[in-house]
Amino acid sequence: MPGTPKSPVTQKNLAVNGYHISGTPVHQLDSGHRSLRKASGEPQTPGSPAAPRRQSKESSLTINCVTFPHPDVMPEQQLLKPSEWSYCDYFWADKKDSQGNNTVSGFEILLQKQLKGKQTQKEMAEFVRERIKIEEEYAKNLSKLSQNSLAAQEEGTLGEAWAQLKKSLADEAEVHLKFSSKLQSEVEKPLLNFRENFKKDMKKCDHHIADLRKQLASRYAAVEKARKALTERQKDLEAKTQQLEVKLSNKTEEEIKKARRKSTQAGDDLMRCVDLYNQAQSKWFEEMVTTTLELERLEVERVEMIRQHLCQYTQLRHETDMFNQSTVELVDQLLRKVDPAKDRELWVKEHKTGDIRPVDMEI
């Protein structure tokens, strides 16, 4: 596939995909066409279009109205951003769609990636929302369980540890509620709100590049129409010249002069159309470079934004684990202090019925 389209951009030292930009127009008229303006005393007959067209095809070719350097004569590629795999270097040509029926422009492929990135970002926010719901439901169940009266009759040091364990569930529930709240404000909302008008902005961008491409196609059609008209004028002039060689007459000479004027005018029209085409391609080329680099910047920014908020998620998760650990530390301390002997002593003192033991009956 050819590289970057030839463009008459006048920026010095700019090179993309092997094409070094200069001020020279892409669609140069061949020597036959330029001969229309030769300053000579002899009448000039416009050259045959066959050889120049062959020369043009050897140096360049046009695909979907965009002119590319011919791959056989294209110099070694010099990328605009070497070794970076930049968007601005690899999306100049059109590509068949997945069904192979229609062509998709390189810019459209980049645009679809941007829109898919926005959709992925939205789905990540939905995933976090589900995580929040789980945390909220978990906190609700923990709080409810902490109020359960099961085993409330346990006494002593074990009873204290048991009561603290149930209280730790309430504390843990509070930790998970705070976690869910922070997930919503620090992860979910930023993912949802990042570039709210992104689709609208991308649509405007798409229309802008599409309009430039349509203008380029229109200018190319005008070039082909003017080229065809010039070919017809040249054939007409050649036919009348041959008639003059067979039979000299003033009428034939007048017809030749008239045909030569029309051929010259057709050559001028073709040069004007080529100039307008090159201007349109130059504008499209410049906007493509600028816009693809902007899309690249936006993609880097999107990825970095998501990375930062996912890091925030993991940080909040670590904090939650730390707080959860703190809720059971007091339970651990009380469990280490559980003393069955002491519990027995306390219980006996509270519930004893008498410390006089029975003795044998006397006769």
DSSP state letters, 35-46: GGG---SSPPPP
Residues in the chain: 363
Task: With beta carbons less than 8 A apart as the criterion, state whether 128 and 183 touch.
Answer: yes
Question: 184: which DSSP letter?
Answer: I
How confident is the model over 278-294, as pLDDT tens digits? Answer: 999 999 999 999 999 99
CA distance 269 to 284: 23
Residue 104: phi and psi, rounded to 5, are -120, 135
| Residues forming a β-bridge with 104 | 95
Question: 171: which DSSP letter?
Answer: H
pLDDT of residue 342 exceeding 80, the answer is: yes
Largest CA distance in the chain: 177
CA distance 291 to 170: 55
3-class secondary-structure state, position 133: helix
Residue 29's nearest CA partner among 7, 5, 13, 51 is 51
pLDDT at 200: 84
pLDDT at 248: 64
Residue 188's nearest CA partner among 134, 140, 132 is 132
Chain centroid, CA 8 distance in Å = 28
CA distance 14 to 22: 8
pLDDT at 82: 87
Q: Which tops the pLDDT comparison, 323 or 15?
A: 323
The CA–CA distances, whole Å, from 11 to 22, 188, 287 equal 7, 45, 14
For the ranges 127-131, 176-180, 204-208, 243-247, the lowest mean pLDDT is seen at 243-247
Across 1-10, 182-191, 238-247, which has the greatest mean pLDDT? 182-191
| Residues forming a β-bridge with 19 | 16
Per-residue pLDDT band at 46 (split at 50, 70, 90): very low
Q: Which domains does the chain have, with CATH numbers?
A: 113-338 (1.20.1270.60)
For the ranges 44-53, 84-93, 130-139, 168-177, the lowest mean pLDDT is seen at 44-53
pLDDT of residue 223 exceeding 50, the answer is: yes
pLDDT at 239: 87
Residue 125: phi and psi, rounded to 5, are -65, -40
Q: Which tops the pLDDT comparison, 142 or 68?
A: 142
Give the pLDDT mean for 123-142: 97
How confident is the model over 61-102, as pLDDT tens digits? Answer: 888 889 888 877 776 668 888 889 999 999 999 988 778 788
Going 22 to 24 to 26 to 31, the CA torsion angle's sign is negative
pLDDT at 6: 56
pLDDT at 70: 80
Chain centroid, CA 95 distance in Å = 17
pLDDT of residue 313 exceeding 90, the answer is: yes
